[in-house]
Structure 1
Amino acid sequence: MRFASLALALTLPVTAFAQCGGSFADFKAGLKTEAVSMGIPAASADAFLSGVTQDPAVLKADQAQGVFQKPFIEFSRHLISSQRLDKGKQLAQQYDSVFDNIEATYGVDRTVLLAFWAFETDYGAFQGDFNTANALATLAHDCRRPDLFRPQVLAAMQLHAADDFDPRTTTGAWAGEIGMVQMLPMDIIENGVDADGDGHVSLKTSAPDALTSGGKMLQHLGWQAGQPWLQEVSVPASMDWSQSGLETVKSTADWQALGVEARNGTLADLPASLILPQGHKGPAFLAYPNFNVYFEWNQSFTYVLTAAYFATRLGGAPVYDAGNPDAGLDSNQMKQLQQRLSDKGYDVGKIDGILGSGTRTAVQAEQKRLGLPADAWPTPELLNQL
């Protein structure tokens, strides 16, 4: 689920970011005016917008992302199965030459793309049945994130003008992503590749096009060829847990001096952060620079970590050591915690029951203040002390 690409938005008129809400008919008229100012023919803009309607189901889906409330162990076990692993390995062989070309051209390991392909659409089997034009227009009209979604509507109109997008039949995810690896219209314009040579970038029906476009996009977002992204590690019980978290970056030598060891193989000679998704008694990973690129694809920490871990599994890594984490908080308790942290002045974002980066940072600070293991994993004990 791709939310982070805003590069092309910088090239659009500033007025685009102020136009949301109000009459939907007036909103569409404003879109047409802006599209024509960008060089899109008026007739093409009319054809695109004539049947576009608001979709209440899109807003409902936007507000109900409860799956991201699950902790890492539960979430990863839900998404990763032996069937998905076996299917990924089979597809790696089936499209071996395609992946060879992607790795040579863009430097993105096949397992990374296979993991996205698996999680986004179950290897293309479930690409979403929301009308994409309606979804994008609905989210652009809604005034919470017009700076993200209005440019995507205009990009879809550009694709339509180039005969690469049918507003009546193109379907995808509720947030407007299209195809096997779920790319937004702006991403398609910037990174779409006609890998099968048929003259069109067909992300819904052509695996070579979808995978190669995904590889190009990851390179564009900063992926470094030949570098790892995630590695499971073991950590000593005497560790200073406040050193964990993506905000702290150390060299491999520094982590080794603190007693961090690779569970399998050797540590890469790269800067890295120690990740403890369920605290110091649960799984532990070192996240290398490529791991941060995942957040340009999806901003959910749990999803990103699971996708990155699954890619390592496809590459032969063993099942992680789940350990025995302390009990976490249910959704209502998490909301209580977020509210108490917000009352103390921390920026935890929306009170939504999801353990995001802002909440993790605040939790770690309060754990340190209270003399608890500062591993950023919220527990009932922390909630009670607050």
Structure 2
Amino acid sequence: MHILKHIMAVAAVSALPGLATASCGGSFSAFKDGLKSEAVSRGISAETADRFLASVRQDPAVLRADRAQGVFQRPFIDFSRRLISQNRINAGKAKAEQWDSVFDRVEQDHGVDRNVLLAFWAFETDYGAFQGDFNTANALVTLAHDCRRPELFRPQVFAGMELFAQGDFDPQRTTGAWAGEIGMVQMLPADIIENGVDGDGDGAVRLKSSAPDALLSGGKMLKHFGWRAGEAWLQEVTVPADMDWSLSGAGKPQSVAQWQAMGVEARSGALSDLPASLILPQGRKGPAFLAYPNFDVYFEWNQSFTYVLTAAYFATRLGGAQVYDAGNPEPGLGADQMKRLQTKLQARGYDVGKIDGILGAGTRAAVQAEQARLGLPADAWPTPALLDRL
């Protein structure tokens, strides 16, 4: 199935002009007129804009999907077990063998490990089987009109027009995910323009029907995001029963020697000689991983911490890593409890983003700060005890 996910503002989009002043809301018809005017100012012909927008309709189903991302409220262990199955692993190995020469090209041209791309391919569309049936033009314009994230989606409308002018997009027939992503690895129109690759040599970039096109395009996009060839991205570790837990968390790199001095060790094999952050998705008593610099690139693909960690871990599984040790984490919070916690943290001045019941980066940082203030183990895992203390 396609995973409902947070969409990120990709570099190709943020480079486009007019983001800060993008308008939204109001009459949908008038909004389309405004899109046409801006398209022409961007150098798109009036005829192209008219033809692109002629059939576009507001899609309430897109808005419902955008607001129904409860899957991300699940903690890492539940979420990863839901997404990762032996069937999916077996299918990944079969796809790796079937498209071995294409993955060789991805690794040679873009330096991206095949298992990383296989994991995205699996999670985004189940290896191409379920690519979404939302009309893409409708989805992009609907989300651009909606005032939640117009700065992301309005430029994607113009990128869609460019693809249309090139003959690579049909506003009436092109379909994909609810958030406007297209193809086997789910790329937004601006990403396709920036990173699309004709992998099969037929003279067109067809991400919906050509695995070589989709895989090489996805590899190029990851390289564009900063993927470092030949380097690890995630490794499971064991941690001592007691250490300075405030040092854990994404974006807090230490050298391998420093982690080893604190008692952190690889669960199997040897640690990579790279700076790494200690990730404890469900606190000090749950699974533990070292995240290397390439792990940060995952957040350019998707902003959900749980999705990113699961995708990165699944890539290691496809490469032969063992099933992680789930440990015995302390009970966490339900969705309503998490919203109450976020409200309390926000009242204390923390930026936790939207009160959505999702344990994102802002909430984790706030939890860790409050744990340290209260003299609790600062492992960033919110518990009922912490909620009671607040």
Q: Secondary structure at the match of 1:274?
A: strand
Q: Secondary structure at the match of 2:273?
A: coil
The CA deviation string for residues 82-128 of structure 1, in whole angstroms up to 9 with x for no partner, is: 00000000000000000000100000000000000000001111101
Equivalences for 1:1-386 in 2 at 5 Å?
1=5, 3-14=7-18, 17-386=21-390
The separation in 2 between residues aligned to 1:63 and 1:373, in whole angstroms, is: 34
Q: Secondary structure at the match of 1:17?
A: coil
Contact 1:41 1:161 in 2 (8 A): no
Structure 1's unaligned 5+ residue stretches are none
Shift of 1:21: 1.2
Which one-letter code corresponds to 1:69 in the other structure?
A: Q
Instruction: Single out whichever of 255-264 and 2-11 deviates more from structure 2.
Output: 2-11
Shift of 1:42: 1.7
Contact 1:108 1:225 in 2 (8 A): yes
**For the structure 1 residues 12 and 220, does the alpha-carbon distance in structure 2 shift closer, same or farther, using more than 3 Å as the test?**
closer
The CA deviation string for residues 54-98 of structure 1, in whole angstroms up to 9 with x for no partner, is: 001111111110000000000000000000000000000000000
Shift of 1:24: 1.1
For the aligned residue pairs, the C-alpha RMSD in angstroms reads 1.2
Contact 1:16 1:151 in 2 (8 A): no
- Which stretches of structure 1, 4 residues or longer, exceed 6 Å deviation after superposition? none
Which one-letter code corresponds to 1:336 in the other structure?
A: R
Structure 2's unaligned 5+ residue stretches are none
The CA deviation string for residues 308-365 of structure 1, in whole angstroms up to 9 with x for no partner, is: 0000000000000000000000011101111111111111111110000111001111
Contact 1:195 1:212 in 2 (8 A): yes
Contact 1:54 1:134 in 2 (8 A): yes
The separation in 2 between residues aligned to 1:121 and 1:6, in whole angstroms, is: 20
Shift of 1:16: 7.5
Contact 1:103 1:109 in 2 (8 A): yes
Contact 2:182 2:188 in 1 (8 A): yes
Fraction of identical pairs, as percent: 74
Contact 2:19 2:151 in 1 (8 A): no
Q: TM-score, normalised by structure 2?
A: 0.97
The separation in 2 between residues aligned to 1:176 and 1:15, in whole angstroms, is: 18
Q: TM-score, normalised by structure 1?
A: 0.98
The separation in 2 between residues aligned to 1:204 and 1:109, in whole angstroms, is: 22
The separation in 2 between residues aligned to 1:285 and 1:6, in whole angstroms, is: 26
Shift of 1:6: 3.6
Q: Secondary structure at the match of 1:231?
A: strand
**For the structure 1 residues 375 and 65, does the alpha-carbon distance in structure 2 shift closer, same or farther, using more than 3 Å as the test?**
same
Contact 1:55 1:135 in 2 (8 A): yes
Contact 1:107 1:225 in 2 (8 A): yes
| Aligned residue pair count | 386
Shift of 1:217: 0.2
